[in-house]
Amino acid sequence: MGKISYKERIGFALGNLGHSAFYGALSTYFIVYVTSGMFAGVEKSIANKLIGLITTLVVIIRLAEVVLDPILGNIVDNTRTKYGKFKPWLLIGTIVSAILLVVCFTG
């Protein structure tokens, strides 16, 4: 493999930090919103059923990722651009995630 430069190590660490901060903020917001704000004023038994439904949907989505992740990994591995195979996907993911995070926290 060869020696990894400090620039690459710092870049990886900052990318990982951003990724973790994004998903931490989004998941915390989602949990608080679903359990306290989304069903305010709804009868408690109905709210509990809806929270159960949302939880079930989240589990189904996570299980679907088991199938989709290898497919998407294959697409990334077969990407051939002058910028490499990962950089275009990182740029697209960063832009989409940033826009969705702003939309999520904007009234």
- Residue ranges per structural domain of the chain: 6-104
Residue 1: pLDDT band (50, 70, 90) is: low
Q: What does the pLDDT read at residue 66?
A: 93
Select the more confidently predicted residue: 62 or 101: 62
Q: What does the pLDDT read at residue 64?
A: 94
C-alpha 85 chain-centroid distance: 20
Select the more confidently predicted residue: 49 or 31: 49
Please state the pTM of the whole predicted model.
0.57
What percent of the chain lies above the pLDDT cut of 70?
A: 97
Looking at 33-82, list the stretches that DSSP marks H as alpha helix, in order from N- to C-terminal side.
44-77
Rounded CA separation 36/53 (Å): 15
Q: Of all residues in the chain, what percent are helix, strand and coil, respectively (each to 5)? A: 80, 0, 20
